[in-house]
């Protein structure tokens, strides 16, 4: 009986470790941010909601506007609320640097994504 209980515990641990995807969809993670500054090739943002990104709320850093999605980055202005979707890589530097940026979306007043045209 103890052997079966041990096997069950080990099996449960394996499922817990490998059965979950850490809240990501195909390696994509995202966060909501407020635009602080707009430049030609990047925007400076402040994270306002982390979701599954691992970025701290109120962290300020730059995000490239060179995205890999088919939709273009919307025209952004200071104080716009946006969602940034990226591959989850966060470089250990100060300020932080993100890996591949998949998309940047404007958010409406309820925090919902507005489709990019």
- pLDDT of 23 reads 39
- pLDDT of 25 reads 46
10-residue mean pLDDT profile of the chain (117 residues): values are 53 41 60 96 96 93 93 93 95 90 95 86
- pLDDT of 65 reads 94
CA angle in degrees (0–180, nearest 5) for 21-25-29? 95
Q: Is 89 exposed, middle or buried (0-12, 13-18, 19+ CB in 10 A)?
A: exposed
- pLDDT of 69 reads 86
- pLDDT of 11 reads 46
Tell me the chain's radius of gyration from C-alpha atoms. Answer: 18
Q: What is the torsional sign of CA 55, 60, 66, 67? A: positive
Are 2 and 10 a contacting pair, CB within 8 Å? Answer: no
Q: Which residues pair with 32 in a beta bridge?
A: 49, 83
- pLDDT of 21 reads 38
- CATH numbers and ranges of domains, the chain: 24-106 (2.40.50.140)
């Amino acid at each position: 009986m103890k052997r079966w209980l041990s096997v069950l515990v080990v099996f449960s641990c394996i499922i817990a470790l490998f059965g979950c995807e850490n809240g990501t969809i195909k390696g994509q993670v995202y966060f909501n941010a407020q635009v602080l500054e707009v430049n030609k090739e990047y925007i400076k943002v402040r994270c306002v909601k982390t979701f599954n990104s691992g970025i701290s709320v109120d962290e300020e850093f730059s995000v490239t506007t060179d995205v890999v999605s088919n939709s273009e980055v919307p025209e952004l202005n200071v104080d716009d609320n946006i969602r940034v979707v990226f591959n989850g890589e966060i470089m250990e530097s100060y300020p932080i640097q993100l890996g591949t940026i998949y998309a940047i979306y404007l958010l409406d007043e309820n925090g919902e994504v507005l489709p990019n045209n």
